[in-house]
Amino acid sequence: MWSFSSIVGAFGLALIAMSFAFAGGAVIVAIPVVFVALAVAAFLDLNRRRKQAKSIHEHREQAKAESVEFTERDQQTLVSE
């Protein structure tokens, strides 16, 4: 999800550059807006990573629960000589 974070970061840099270009006083507004945008991006990224890790953990638990049953033919072909 680095693309979303890079878009927010580019937006923040553009906002700061614009505030310096227009009288400098807009920095008072631009910097808090950038911090809020970065906080939202960080929250969304952490939430996505948490869900992804949880789904992987659940997948592992489901894989452990399934037992493999071999047929008679499987048993014959698996025997090493």
List of residues 6+ apart from 37 with CB closer than 8 A:
8, 11, 12
Mean pLDDT, rounded, for 7-12: 78
State the total domains in the chain: 1
- For the segment 26-70, what is each residue's pLDDT rounded down to a tens digit? 667 777 877 888 888 888 888 888 888 888 777 777 777 667 787
pTM summary value: 0.49
- For the segment 44-53, what is each residue's pLDDT rounded down to a tens digit? 888 888 888 8
Q: Which domain holds residue 63?
A: 2-78
| Residue 59, number of CB atoms within 10 A of its CB | 10
Cα–Cα distance measured from residue 8 to residue 26, given in angstroms and rounded to the nearest whole number: 18
